[in-house]
Amino acid sequence: MSAEASSLPSPQGRGTQGGRAMTPILSVRDLVVTFAIREGVVTAVNGVSFDVHRGEVLGLVGESGSGKSVTGLAILGLVDAPGRIEAGSIRLEGEELIGKPERELRRLRGKRLAMIFQDPMTTLNPVLRIDTQMIEAIRAHENVSEKAARDRARQALLKVGIPSPEERLTAYPHQFSGGMRQRVAIATALLHRPAVLVADEPTTALDVTIQAQILAEVQELAAESGTAMVWITHDLSVIAGLADRIAVMYAGRIVETGAVADVLERPIHPYTAGLIGSVPSRNKRGVPLAQIPGMTPSLAKVPPACPFNPRCPRASVTCRTIMPEPTPYDGARMARCHHPLIEQAPAAA
Amino acid sequence: MAMPDPIIALENVSKRFVKPLDAAEKIANLFGAGLSEQVVRAVDNVTLTIAEGEVVGLVGESGCGKSTLGRIVAGILEPSAGTVRFRGRALAELSGKERRAADLAIQMVFQDPMASLNPRRRVVEIIGEAPVVHGLVRPAEMDAYVCEIMARVGLDPATRRRYPHQFSGGQRARIGIARALAVKPKVLVCDESTAALDVSIQAQVLNLFMTLRQEFGLTYLFVSHDLGVVEHISDRVAVMYLGRIVELSPADEIFRAPNHPYTEALLAEVPRLEPRKKRFSALKGEIPSPLHPPSGCHFHPRCPFAFDRCKVDRPALKKIAPGRFSACHLNDGPEPRPGKAFSDGEAVAA
Ligand SMILES: Nc1ncnc2c1ncn2[C@@H]1O[C@H](COP(=O)(O)OP(=O)(O)OP(=O)(O)O)[C@@H](O)[C@H]1O
Ligand SMILES: Nc1ncnc2c1ncn2[C@@H]1O[C@H](COP(=O)(O)OP(=O)(O)O)[C@@H](O)[C@H]1O
Ligand code: SF4
Ligand code: SF4
Ligand SMILES: [Mg+2]
Ligand SMILES: [Mg+2]
């Protein structure tokens, strides 16, 4: 499909030192994931490209069904039938993951690649005690004594804010609150200081107070271990406080990327602007929220050319006939739009 | 400021649930653990009035009793103690026709429209049934009536013969709202009505609530754990903690200058679009189990200002300024509480 990555400057920010770009820890290029369903073959992820650097948090946002979770699962090699990675490349510290045998992927998962989910029970085993699970997770990848592993597990629980971890270790997951369970899942995911952590809405189901605690802990841990994070959420305000860069997905494509402050303050893509306008906030109290009319298209019926055109206030004939290509903007930004909200920088060839 | 007569008045309302033993506890009892059934005070002595046409937001952490209080207001749950009044008349004392009229006048809109919509019934029946049953419209007029209501909430009337699963999440939310509106209610109790929706769809539904308020002169009790949503839509906000209302104030004032330490902590945790790369500082610990609420002020184990009295005395919800109420012993001191209101210079002038 598109060669979006090769035409773009490499992202700045944490990834550069003295202007020289470092190799990203995670590099996704032109990723295409399809699902064979009753209606035919649908493309859930359609040419997605991004880089994440050491210690960096990339916020992946978009509406339900835009392809965020599928992108996350693809990174971990967890796309199962009827899903299929059709094309593209996913490199972990330069090493290609697509096409790796399942056995090797399993070795990477839980060690260099980790994922946390909205429902922590996706990764926790309900019938095993916490200590059994964590010790197993440590010893699966490292040759250490049971006692040493237990110590590590206790340290890890302490770090994610679980009080009296020694007692907690002997409990079962159902004896914990939702927030505690999510903490255990995070502690387990971070046991081996993974190079990459994919977090799929891990705080969405939690109270703001618990969410804030967990975000604080994750932020600290990632900074400490240099883990690169892909944080998936539909909540722009979470991204505003947590991420360094943001990638906005719509109908399987990234439609805009850039530094968080740039994107939220001066969105280029009308869809990004619409999302920002939809968030209730201080200065919009009592006035109607800007709404994006209509709803996310079903994958079986993605509108032609720019998929956002039926909902877009700026749509023109061009938008309905020609697919907008990824275009670079100042400040290592990218957007795909024929009628962007800010002036385009002179094309740097 | 003369307040209009309240349309809803709760007087010392409490709700207790008896929590039966779960399987694990029953097994433990076989081994002589001697556990007995426990009592949860989901709502603990709540007094609250809602004026005609007002939007009152009800916020708090999960399990604090918001939904229970909402259900009591909607007449779905009977309180264990206290009185619920609709236009001055105690619900419990109404019978027959009068009670039915009050029940219709107060409608509930649920969080998960899928769970509350019968999957085997067509939308036209889901929306049209109650008004026909209650004689608000004649059977022959039902179809036209449903079309009118659907158009009002932004649903295409041509889709009225479809089943709920054939709609998107946002559309199902609208079906739930249409069903409630169909019986011409005066009060809507919305329990996490936008929680399952994407922000863009949530914005559409919030705008719809605001339009309907104007059009039908509705009163809302808006239950949500999302403070951003509550701030956006409410005139007044009630903050609940472990079954009790700890602060009740006009929305703009409570968000600008919270009085209760719990309100202040809760507001500090709300992620906002504006501040970037904020260090999430945290209110320590989790909400305690409602089975064993702390003594005195329920908030004292997590409160940075707690002092001796807080462990023994339950603070009453007291007036602290015109239209503002808070349940904190610090307000009894000679000095006003050194809360956010008084520390961040520009916030409060007086
Ligand atoms: N196992 C599957 N079979 C068929 N289609 C699937 C499957 N998993 C995902 N899809 C489709 O792929 C698209 C992208 O799904 P994905 O789960 O990535 O969305 P998302 O952006 O994470 O949404 P949400 O915010 O709701 O989690 C959707 O249209 C979804 O229906
Ligand atoms: N039907 C019930 N039986 C027993 N306990 C209940 C029942 N409904 C609610 N509770 C308990 O009452 C408390 C308040 O619950 P709820 O009103 O649902 O809280 P919220 O809506 O604020 O999350 C919780 O501890 C909950 O477990
Ligand atoms: S390309 Fe056209 S339709 Fe698409 S977002 Fe831009 S202006 Fe809107
Ligand atoms: S009464 Fe005491 S413990 Fe409760 S909020 Fe006030 S200061 Fe804190
Ligand atoms: Mg998802
Ligand atoms: Mg609830």
Residues of B in contact with A275 (CB under 8 A): 199-200
How high does pLDDT run on average in chain B? 86
- Predicted pLDDT of residue B257: 94
Bridge-based pairing state of the strands A40-52 and B244-250: unpaired
Question: In chain B, positions 65-104, which contact chain A (CB-CB < 8 Å)?
Answer: none
Q: What is d(CA A199, CA A304) in angstroms, rounded to the nearest whole number?
A: 31
Contact B39, B18 (CB under 8 A): yes
Question: In chain B, positions 193-252, which contact chain A (CB-CB < 8 Å)?
Answer: 198-204, 206-207, 210, 225, 227-229, 231-233, 251-252
Judged against a pLDDT cut of 90, whether residue B20 lies above it is answered with no
How high does pLDDT run on average in chain A? 87
Q: What is d(CA A115, CA A109) in angstroms, rounded to the nearest whole number?
A: 8
- Interface check for B276 against chain A (CB to CB < 8 A): the answer is yes
Q: What is d(CA B180, CA B178) in angstroms, rounded to the nearest whole number?
A: 5
One-letter identity of residue B323: G
Contact A292 B200 (CB under 8 A): yes
- Predicted pLDDT of residue A345: 56
Ligand 3, residues A248, A339, A344: which to mutate, most atoms within 8 A of Cβ? A339
Question: Which region among A78-92, A143-157, A207-221, B137-151 has the lowest average model confidence (pLDDT)?
Answer: A207-221
Contact A240 B252 (CB under 8 A): no
Cα angle at A331 between A327 and A337, to 5 degrees? 25
CB atoms within 10 A of CB A61: 25
Q: Which two tokens stand for residue B30?
A: 């076989």
Environment class of B160 (CB within 10 Å of its CB; exposed 0-12, middle 13-18, buried 19+): buried
How far, CA to CA in Å, does A134 sit from each of A156, A185, A336? Answer: 9, 9, 44
Interval A79-93 mean pLDDT: 94
- DSSP helix, strand, coil percent of chain B (3-state; round to 5): 40, 20, 40
Q: What is d(CA A232, CA A239) in angstroms, rounded to the nearest whole number?
A: 9
Task: State pLDDT tens for residues A149-193.
Answer: 999 999 999 888 787 888 889 889 888 888 888 889 999 998 888
- DSSP helix, strand, coil percent of chain A (3-state; round to 5): 35, 25, 45
Judged against a pLDDT cut of 80, whether residue A286 lies above it is answered with no
Contact A241 B276 (CB under 8 A): yes
Residue B336 binned pLDDT confidence (cut-offs 50, 70, 90): low
Q: Is A306 in the pocket of ligand 3 (CB under 6 A)?
A: yes
For residue A14, the distance in angstroms to the closest alpha carbon of chain B comes to 13
Q: Which residues, 6+ apart, have CB-to-CB distance to B130 below 8 Å?
A: B104, B179, B182, B183
One-letter identity of residue A94: G
Q: Which residues, 6+ apart, have CB-to-CB distance to A54 below 8 Å?
A: A14, A15, A22, A25, A226, A228
- The rounded Cα B31 to chain-centroid distance in angstroms is 41
Interval B93-111 mean pLDDT: 91
β-partners of residue B216 are none
pLDDT higher at A111 or B290: A111
Structure pTM?
Answer: 0.82
Contact B231 A212 (CB under 8 A): no
Domain ranges of chain A: 3-112+192-335
Q: Which residues, 6+ apart, have CB-to-CB distance to B45 below 8 Å?
A: B12, B13, B14, B82, B244
Give the atom of ligand 1 at the shortest distance from the alpha carbon of A201.
27
- Interface check for B275 against chain A (CB to CB < 8 A): the answer is yes
- Predicted pLDDT of residue B325: 97
- Predicted pLDDT of residue A121: 87
Choosing among B27, B166, B200, B242, which should be mutated to test the A contact, i.e. which has the most A CBs within 10 A? B200
Annotate B286-309 with b (16+ C-beta within 10 A) or e (fewer).
Answer: bbbebeebbebbbbbebbeebeee
Place of tokens 């079954």: B243
How far, CA to CA in Å, does A213 sit from each of B160, B231, B284, B286? Answer: 45, 22, 8, 10
Q: What is d(CA A68, CA A125) in angstroms, rounded to the nearest whole number?
A: 25
Domain A3-112+192-335 has CATH 3.40.50.300: yes
- Predicted pLDDT of residue B276: 54
Environment class of A324 (CB within 10 Å of its CB; exposed 0-12, middle 13-18, buried 19+): buried
Q: Is A338 in the pocket of ligand 3 (CB under 6 A)?
A: yes
